[in-house]
Amino acid sequence: MSRLDLLVSSCYGMRYIDGEWKMHNGIDIAVPVSAPSIRGEVIYSLADGEVMEIGYSSSYGYFIKIKDRNGYIWLYAHLLNDPQEDPDINIKVGDKVNMGLTTIGKCDSTGNSTGDHIHIELMINNNTVKLYWN
């Protein structure tokens, strides 16, 4: 994604959702309601690394995990479809990715989501850490 109108729509930390306080382990990147949709926009890796998992879950929808050269794990969720089956992406577990160059998915709202955005988590030693975006 290279749009200038991107913003953090949900920060890392506790948030009130579905009638209770829940931990949000990443950040959500979206656009203002007045902006054109980001559905289908390509997503590039934020780190050099290797694809370690591609899958689907009821909460994340379609997702991809990338392990960078420091052993940190980057998770990107709510993708449009399975990146392995998308002819525009065609990426699979074990593939090497380059920061800002390798397309790893397309933005959507799959899984437990209220609108088009990309959810990003960073895990170090199996613990999520707070991400900042500016």
Q: How far apart are CA 11 and CA 18, in angstroms?
A: 17
pLDDT score for 109 = 94
- What average pLDDT score do residues 68-97 get? 95
For residue 134, is it within any domain? no
- What average pLDDT score do residues 104-112 get? 94
Q: What's the pTM? A: 0.90
* Angle, vertex CA 77, rays to CA 126 and CA 125, nearest 5: 10
Between residues 11 and 123, the one the model is more confident about: 123
Q: Has residue 4 got a pLDDT over 70?
A: no
Give tens-digit pLDDT for 52-62: 999 999 999 99
Q: Which residues fall within 8 angstroms of residue 55, CB to CB, at 6 or more apart? A: 62, 63
For residue 133, is it within any domain? no
Confidence label for 31 from pLDDT (cuts 50, 70 and 90): confident
Q: Domain count of the chain?
A: 1
Domain around 61:
7-128
